[in-house]
Copies of this chain bind each other. A is one copy, B any other.
Amino acid sequence: MSNINSFFFIFGKRILVSNILSMDGWFALDKPYLRKLSDPPLENPIFVQGLPGFGNVGRIAAHLLIKFFDAKPFAELYSPTFPDYVAINLKGICHLPRYEFFYAPMEKNNLIIMTGEIQPSFDDVVAHYTVCDSVLDFVETLGCKFIVTMGGVPITEDKTQVYIAATSPRLATEFMEKGAVIYSKGRIVGGTGLTLALAKERKIDGISLLGTTMGFKADKGAGFLVFKFLMKALGKEIKEGLVENNAPEE
C-alpha cells in the first residue's frame, strides 16, 4: 500500500444549533437527540413514562394508555448509548433504538406518553443520567409541570399492589389515600427512578407508580394494575378486559 499522496482527514465535531431546521435528516451522534414529527397543541401536559424493566410493567402500562387514548406519536428520542443493534419491522424496514413520545388530549390536561423498547446499557451509568435529563429537558420545553414514571417492583411472594414514591410528602400522601402503598425505604433502578429524582431537582412535581411483579417476563396483570390506578387518579374508571388485546408482545 503506497504512502505516496497520503494525507489525513479528521472528522470534526459537528455542532448543530438548537431549534435549527435540518432539511436533510443529518444529526450529531455524541449525545441524545430529539426529532419532532409534529407540533401538537399542548396545555399543561402531564408526562407519563413507561420503559422496559422488571416484568415490563412500565412499558405495558404505557401501551395501554396509548391504546386507550388513541394517542398519536409526535417525537422520537435517539441516543448513542442505546443498544447497538437495530430492530427490523414486519416489512423488513430497519430503525434505530429510540424512545417514542405520544400525545393524548384530555379534558383538563393533555397527556404526553413516552415508551421504548430499550434503556441505555446496564453498565453505562452516566448514560442513564444523560438520557433521563434529556427527556426532562424536552418535556419542560413543552410546559410540563407534573410527571409520572411507571415501573415494576420485583417481589418473591404473590402480593398484588401498586407502590408509590414521590417528590414531596404531600404527593405521597395524596396517592396513598387513592390506594397506593408508600414505597418506604425502597430503591428504584434505572430510568423509572432517575427521571423522578431528576425532576425533583428541577422542582417539577412527580410520582412513581410501581406494580408488584414476580418475574422478569412480561407481566400484563401488573401493567394493567398500574394503568388502572393511574386512570382512576386521572378520573377515569377502567373496566377489566382491556388488557387482553393491547399489551405489547414481547
Contact = CB atoms under 8 A, between A and B. Distances in A.
Nearest to A122: B84
Copies of the chain in the assembly: 4
Interface string A45-85: 00000000000000000000000000001000010111111
Contacts of A150: none
Contacts of A83: 125
A52 to B, nearest CB: 15
Contacts of A121: 123, 125
Contact of A172 (B9, B93, B187, B200): B93
Given A85-B189, A92-B184, A201-B96, A18 B11 contact: yes
A127 B121 CA distance: 13
Interface string A146-165: 00000000000000000011
B33 A10 contact: yes
Contact of A12 (B18, B91, B138): B18
Contact of A165 (B1, B94, B126): B94
A137 interface: yes
A2 interface: yes
A217 interface: no
A32 B124 CA distance: 16
B166 A93 contact: yes
Contacts of A193: 84-86, 94
B2 A37 contact: yes
Contacts of A85: 187-190, 193-194
Interface in A207-225: 208
A11 B185 contact: no
A27 B39 CA distance: 27
B92 A164 contact: yes
A83 to B, nearest CB: 6
Given A5-B39, A11-B134, A17-B12, A88 B202 contact: no
Nearest to A28: B10
A87 to B, nearest CB: 6
B87 A11 contact: no
The 4 nearest A-B residue pairs measured at CB: A92-B172, A80-B129, A86-B193, A84-B128
10 contacts: A5-B38, A7-B21, A9-B19, A10-B16, A12-B18, A85-B187, A88-B183, A91-B172, A94-B165, A94-B166
